[in-house]
Each structure stands twice: as C-alpha cells, then as structure tokens.
C-alpha cells in the first residue's frame, strides 16, 4: 500500500481547518458577549494555516522574509489560542506578556538568521517558546476547565503538543540540524509535521465542543430568564417549584406564593415613555429582591406582573413580606415615577399541590385586591378556610 504523502495530509487538514474556522467565526459573531474567546480561536487556526503557504515559499521568497514570516504566524496562532482560552474562561487576557514573548522570539530568530546564522538555535528558540506557551495553556485549562471530557481531551492535546516541541527543541540543540529540518524530510521532522497538523485539527474540534457546551448553557439560561430584569420567567419559576417539590423538605412547607401586579402601570408608559417604564420594572425587581431571603425566588410573569415564592413561610409571614414590599416602594428615594402594587397570596401546606393550581389561587386573590381599589393585599379563600390561620389586612 502506498503511504499517505505528508504534504497531502497537511493540505487536507488545512481545508478542514478553514471549515472549522468559518464555523467558529460565525459562533463568535452570533454569541459575542455570551461565549468569549471563540473569535481568537478562529484566528489561531487561520494563522496556523497562513503559516503553511509561507513555509512552502521557502526558496522562492527570501529566507529573511519566509523564516520570520512562518515562525511569526505560527507563534501568533499559539498566542491567539492562549488569549482565546483566557477569554473563554473569563480571565484577563495577557496581551502584553504575549507580545513581549512574541517580539523577543522573533528578535532571537532574526539574530540567528542574519547576524549569527544557526539553524539549530532557531529551531530551539522557536520550539522552547512554543513549549512554554503550551505549558501556560495546560495550567489554564487545569485551573479553570470544567470537569468534562472536552477539558481532559484539550489537556491531552496540549501535553502532546508541548512534548513534541520540547523533543524537537532538545534534538535541535543536541543532534544535527537535518533531523529537525522540516524541508529535509527526516523521520523525526516528518513525524513532527504530521502530528502537529493532526493536533491542530483536533484542537479545533475541542474548541467547537467547548463552545457548543457553553452555548447550550447560555440557551438553557435564556429559556428560563426574563431578559429585561434578569429574574426567572414563568417557565423558570415553574421549574424551580418542581425542584422544590422533588426535593420536598419539611422546612420548605408551608410555602407561600405572592402574585404581585403594579397598579395603573400603563399610565407610567403613557406619561413617561416605554423606556422609563422598563426602568421602573427593573427598579421594582431590585427593591423586592432586597427584601427577600436567599432561598426565596422572584419571577416576572410578563408585563408588570411578578411572582414571589417564599419557602417555609406561613400566610401571616407572607403578608408581612408583601406589606414590606409595598412600603419600600412607597418610601423609595428615586426620580422614577413609581406606582403602588396589589398582592394576592396563596399558600401550600404540602408539596402535593401543583404549581398552576397554587398560582390560580394567588391570581384570584390578586384579582380581588385590584377590585378592592388596588394598593392592597388579599389572601386566597382556600388558604384562609384551610389549615392556615386567616389573617386580616
């Protein structure tokens, strides 16, 4: 069987990498703020690809252009991998350090190319810089990577990359230059080139797996979150209640639910504009949050209606919370045009009641609060006549 020619392998991988970069660039454009670093990873792939034609022009272009061009592009690609990974993990990118190392390495390469030509020293300086960059990446993934196959695989690829470069750098310093010269096609040089090419492609697969996992988390979060106020939406609140039911602890029941609706909010929009209306909604959520415990949840059910879930809270206690919320809005120091709010309360003595039923009861109480002239608190009839102590306003 005829062995696969190394240049065919490099060429095929280059095309696959271009495809991967295009996917990464489109992920970057669509989810720029949610998934950071993917654009840098895409650039890393492109820089590595750019280096290949520069390498191929050796003999055509002057070596004073081709050699620093090839090494500079490769090192830049590795730097982009490092910066992209730092951004992905929410770390501060070390641009200055990278530029310093990049500049120093290129200066060293030029020294051993122009002033004191020495091929082995050039290979050694490039390989050892690359080794250091991969070590920094391994440390980064080790510290911040999630405990998932993609992180472990990422680390294995980086370890192989680092090991290969350490080996090549050491051989360059100890053996003759032919064994590390990629243009001479020695066994070691061919193995290095083939392995590096495959590793670069596998790295792009890892980047895409990591980015898609992050995207999945972002989309899941978006599905349960209200974009304006950042609190749970109806779906998220239902899921939270189901979790409470699933892990029902004695301490979570009785559980009280407040259905809160701003009074005449339409006037705020009509008089001050929709943007101010939005600010009022965000302000109200902030105020309510300040009065809640860590275990409580607030959700926005659309428009100017909110729901607060208070685990382990009796109706009497829930009324106190509702009254405190009303008072804090009335006494709030702000230039925003605030309005009063009406509250309906319902309570569950056990985890058996489903969320929709509890919500219906709280809504019915809210409806009565609105009919009673607004700015008031009403308790659900079933709660009053059940095990809970009725509480007068």
Ligand X SMILES: Nc1nc2c(ncn2[C@@H]2O[C@H](COP(=O)(O)OP(=O)(O)OP(=O)(O)O)[C@@H](O)[C@H]2O)c(=O)[nH]1
Which region among 1-9, 122-130, 166-174, 257-265 touches ligand X (by CB under 6 A)? 257-265
Question: How many other C-beta atoms can be found within 10 angstroms of the C-beta atom of residue 103?
Answer: 11
Query: Hey, is 346 helix, strand or coil?
Result: strand
Q: At what angle do helices 63-88 and 95-110 cross, to 10 degrees?
A: 160
Q: Is residue 265 part of the contact set for ligand X (CB under 6 A)?
A: yes
Rounded Cα distance between 201 and 164, Å, is 16
Is the CB of 201 or the CB of 269 nearer to ligand X?
269
Which region among 1-9, 89-97, 231-239, 269-277 touches ligand X (by CB under 6 A)? 269-277
Q: Is residue 252 part of the contact set for ligand X (CB under 6 A)?
A: no
Is the CB of 185 or the CB of 303 nearer to ligand X?
303
Tell which one of 261, 353, 378, 380 touches ligand X (CB under 6 A). Answer: 261
Q: Which of 304, 305, 317, 378 is catalytic?
A: 304
Is the CB of 36 or the CB of 279 nearer to ligand X?
279
Long-range contacts, 182-185 (Cβ 8 Å, 24+): 182/55, 183/58, 185/6
Which region among 8-16, 85-93, 150-158, 274-282 touches ligand X (by CB under 6 A)? 274-282
Q: Is residue 58 part of the contact set for ligand X (CB under 6 A)?
A: no
Long-range contacts, 110-116 (Cβ 8 Å, 24+): 110/68, 113/63, 113/64, 113/67, 113/68, 114/64
Instruction: List binders of ligand X among 334-373 (CB under 6 A).
Output: 370
Structure tokens at 272: 């001050």
Is the CB of 78 or the CB of 342 nearer to ligand X?
342
Q: Is residue 271 part of the contact set for ligand X (CB under 6 A)?
A: no
Query: How many residues bind ligand X, per CB under 6 A?
Result: 16
Which region among 26-34, 138-146, 211-219, 256-264 touches ligand X (by CB under 6 A)? 256-264
Cα-Cα end-to-end distance for the chain: 90
Binding mask 298-317 for ligand X (x = CB under 6 A): -----xx-------------
Q: At what angle do helices 38-56 and 6-30 cross, to 10 degrees?
A: 150
254: preceding bond cis by omega (within 30 degrees): yes
Q: Is residue 274 part of the contact set for ligand X (CB under 6 A)?
A: yes
Specify whether 294 is catalytic: no
Rounded Cα distance between 54 and 63, Å, is 10
Read off φ and ψ for residue 372, nearest 5 degrees.
-80, 10
- Are 96 and 145 in contact by the 8 Å Cβ rule? The answer is no
Is the CB of 228 or the CB of 295 nearer to ligand X?
228
Is the CB of 19 or the CB of 303 nearer to ligand X?
303
Q: Is residue 41 part of the contact set for ligand X (CB under 6 A)?
A: no
Q: Where are the alpha helices (DSSP H) in 273-354?
A: 274-291, 315-330
Minimum CB–partner distance for residue 252 and ligand X (Å): 30
Structure tokens at 243: 């979790």
Q: Is residue 269 part of the contact set for ligand X (CB under 6 A)?
A: yes
Sign (positive or negative) of CA dihedral 96, 102, 105, 106: negative
Tell which one of 216, 222, 249, 266 touches ligand X (CB under 6 A). Answer: 266
Instruction: List binders of ligand X among 222-251 (CB under 6 A).
Output: 228
Rounded Cα distance between 391 and 303, Å, is 29
Minimum CB–partner distance for residue 202 and ligand X (Å): 46
Q: Is residue 34 part of the contact set for ligand X (CB under 6 A)?
A: no
| Residue nearest ligand X by beta-carbon distance | 277
Is the CB of 228 or the CB of 327 nearer to ligand X?
228
Q: Is residue 277 part of the contact set for ligand X (CB under 6 A)?
A: yes
Read off φ and ψ for residue 262, nearest 5 degrees.
-70, 140
Catalytic site residues? 304
Give the footprint of ligand X on this chain (CB under 6 A): 228, 261-266, 269, 274, 277-278, 281, 303-304, 370, 374
């Amino acid at each position: 069987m005829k062995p696969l020619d190394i240049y065919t392998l490099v060429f095929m991988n280059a095309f696959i990498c271009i495809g991967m970069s295009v996917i990464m660039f489109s992920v970057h454009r669509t989810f720029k703020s949610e998934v950071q670093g993917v654009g840098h990873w895409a650039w890393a792939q492109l820089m590595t690809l750019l280096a290949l034609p520069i390498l191929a022009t050796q003999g055509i272009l002057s070596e004073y252009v081709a050699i620093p061009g090839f090494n500079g592009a490769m090192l830049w690609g590795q730097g982009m991998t490092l910066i992209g990974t730092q951004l992905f993990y929410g770390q501060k990118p070390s641009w200055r350090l990278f530029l310093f190392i990049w500049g120093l390495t290129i200066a060293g390469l030029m020294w051993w190319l122009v002033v004191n030509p020495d091929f082995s020293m050039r290979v050694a300086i490039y390989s050892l810089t690359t080794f250091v960059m991969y070590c920094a990446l391994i440390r980064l993934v080790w510290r911040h990577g999630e405990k998932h196959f993609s992180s472990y695989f990422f680390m294995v690829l980086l370890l192989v990359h680092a090991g290969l470069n350490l080996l090549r750098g050491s051989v360059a310093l100890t053996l003759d230059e032919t064994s590390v010269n990629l243009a001479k096609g020695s066994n070691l040089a061919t193995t290095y080139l083939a392995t590096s090419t495959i590793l670069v492609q596998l790295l792009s697969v890892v980047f895409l797996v990591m980015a898609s996992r992050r995207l999945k988390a972002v989309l899941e979060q978006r599905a349960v979150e209200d974009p304006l106020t950042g609190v749970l939406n109806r779906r998220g609140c239902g899921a939270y209640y189901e979790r409470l039911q699933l892990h029902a602890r004695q301490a979570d029941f009785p559980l009280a639910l407040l259905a809160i609706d701003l009074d005449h909010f339409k006037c705020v929009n009509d008089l001050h504009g929709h943007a101010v209306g939005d600010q009022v909604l965000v302000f109200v959520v902030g105020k309510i949050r300040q009065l809640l415990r860590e275990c409580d949840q607030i959700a926005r059910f659309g428009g100017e209606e909110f729901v607060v879930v208070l685990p382990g809270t009796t109706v009497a206690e829930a009324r106190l919370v509702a009254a405190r919320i009303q008072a804090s809005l009335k006494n709030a120091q702000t230039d925003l045009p605030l309005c009063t709010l009406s509250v309906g309360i319902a309570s569950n003595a056990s985890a058996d009641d489903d969320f929709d039923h509890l919500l219906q009861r709280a809504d019915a109480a809210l409806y009565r609060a609105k009919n009673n002239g607004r700015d008031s608190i009403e308790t659900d009839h079933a709660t009053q006549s059940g095990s809970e102590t009725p509480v007068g306003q």
